[in-house]
Amino acid sequence: MKPRYWLLLAVSAALSLQVAACSSEFSSCAASRTCAPSGGEAGDGGDSGLPSGAGTGGHSGASGKGGAPDQIEAGASGESGTSDQIDGGAAGEPDGSHAGRGGSAGSSGGAGGVGGNTAGCSPGTIQPCGECGTRTCSASGAFSECTPAEPSCADGTHSEVCSATASPVWVKTACSAGSACSGGACLKSDGQPCALSGDCLTGQCTLFYRDSDGDGFGTGSDNVKVCGQTPPAGYVTSNSDCCDTDVLAKPTQLDFFTLADKCGSFDYDCANGAELELPIASKCTGNAACVKGWTGDTAPACGTAATAIGFHANAGAVYPSTPANCH
């Protein structure tokens, strides 16, 4: 009996050590909830860890809302869903239990839609913008950039121009005396001094020349430009006068003179040189229109006297001291 007693006592001690080791291992697993004791069978009354012990997954975040029809900026992105993860299922009793799995985190919500300015815009629609501009709705339903309006006339004496500033405004300007508003600009009336045709209401800026002697011809040295086609008093359209201080000297003069003009020239017809009324005699031979000519081969100077002889019907006639008329 004695040997059997000691054998039972040794077995009992070994079992006690094994139980203590299992209890220690089980406590560690239960604390971390990552594992279950391996190899053991369910103990009396112990419940296995159930899959249903897993926590439910998180809900997805709501999608962002699209931009409103006239909204320029994009709608805000949806927020990430919050995790509804529940702690793992409770561990079963020491033998063979399974820890429950946690739920998944919720997914992020989608980005919000980009807002636009297309809605409510009918193609071809013209809408005012700024103080003096407009914008037009395109075929795609979007408004164009604001375009400043063209200059205009508030009335016949004031122009209105849209200022070239960040915030454009109408600038109203009074036209000066002798001008009027046309096409949004103050332009000069006929008879007003001008530099370019664009300065004039009629679109005509004409150069005129002073006619000092009143013979209808002026010179290029004294001129003026005015709007229109009517010359100012004392001015004409021609600048071909060769002596603007002598009314007898002009391009249309047909008469001959024995005295020089007021400019000291015998070029009364402004033909770039004086011309004798009579030719030399040798030029009259065979010329039925020549009835008188100067004797010799040299013509006298304009304004002097010399002898001339007759030809044809006046053949044989002698004209002493004939003045040498010129023009």
- Residues in contact with 235: Cβ distance below 8 Å, sequence separation at least 6, in sequence order: 208, 209, 210, 211, 218, 223, 224
Instruction: Report pLDDT for 291.
Output: 83
252, pLDDT greater than 90: yes
Q: What is the mean pLDDT of residues 140-163?
A: 81
CA pair distance 56, 271, nearest whole angstrom: 118
Could you tell me which residues are beta bridge partners of residue 161? 171
Instruction: Report pLDDT for 119.
Output: 52
55, pLDDT greater than 50: no
Which amino acid is residue 7, in one-letter code?
L
| 103 neighbors 59 (Cβ within 8 angstroms) | no
pLDDT per residue as tens digits for the range 108-130: 434 333 333 445 789 999 888 87
225, pLDDT greater than 50: yes
Note if the pTM is more than 0.75: no
pLDDT per residue as tens digits for the range 203-224: 999 999 999 999 999 998 899 9
198, pLDDT greater than 80: yes
Q: What are phi and psi of 216, to 5 degrees?
A: 90, 5
Instruction: Report pLDDT for 20.
Output: 52
| 188 neighbors 178 (Cβ within 8 angstroms) | yes
Instruction: Report pLDDT for 127.
Output: 86
Instruction: Report pLDDT for 158.
Output: 86
Instruction: Report pLDDT for 96.
Output: 36
Instruction: Report pLDDT for 11.
Output: 53
Instruction: Report pLDDT for 33.
Output: 42
68, pLDDT greater than 50: no
Lowest mean pLDDT among 87-96, 184-193, 273-282: 87-96
* DSSP code at position 199: G
State the average pLDDT for the chain: 72
Q: Hey, what are 188's tokens?
A: 């000069």
Instruction: Report pLDDT for 218.
Output: 96
29, pLDDT greater than 70: no
Instruction: Report pLDDT for 4.
Output: 56
What is the domain partition of the chain in residue ranges?
189-241, 247-327
- Residues in contact with 114: Cβ distance below 8 Å, sequence separation at least 6, in sequence order: 66, 67, 74, 75
Element (H, E) at 293: strand 292-294
CA pair distance 292, 306, nearest whole angstrom: 12
Instruction: Report pLDDT for 7.
Output: 52
Instruction: Report pLDDT for 63.
Output: 38
The residue ranking higher by pLDDT, 57 or 263, is 263
241, pLDDT greater than 90: yes
76, pLDDT greater than 90: no
Say what percent of the chain tops pLDDT 90. Answer: 31
CA pair distance 268, 220, nearest whole angstrom: 18
71, pLDDT greater than 80: no
